[in-house]
Amino acid sequence: MIKLQVISSLPGRVRLKNPYIYYDKDLSEYINFYLETLVGVNYSKVNHNSATILIEYDKDKINLDEIMKKLTT
């Protein structure tokens, strides 16, 4: 199971922390690609140096709980 910590959250924007992506560029690219395929996700950036994931999304199409569920299953 992927461990995610919400660092900051605003409607339509969330920043997550995931220790598994720390310095793992391939995993970071995979997560970023996956996020950008989700309906409602407008932008995502995964930073493997800081182990963070920034997601901007349309809150009318997808919510934070759905995003978290898709990332952890």
* The Cα angle at residue 47 between residues 46 and 50, in degrees rounded to 5: 140
Domain ranges of the chain: 5-72
Fold of 5-72: Gyrase A; domain 2 (3.30.1360)
Question: Tell me: the pLDDT tens digits for 26-50?
Answer: 999 999 999 999 999 999 999 999 9
pTM of the complete model: 0.92
Q: What are the DSSP E strand ranges found in 1-73?
A: 5-10, 13-17, 41-47, 52-57
- Whether residue 23 is predicted with pLDDT greater than 90 in this model: the reply is no
Q: How far apart are CA 12 and CA 48, in angstroms?
A: 22
Q: Cβ distance 4 to 71 under 8 Å? A: yes
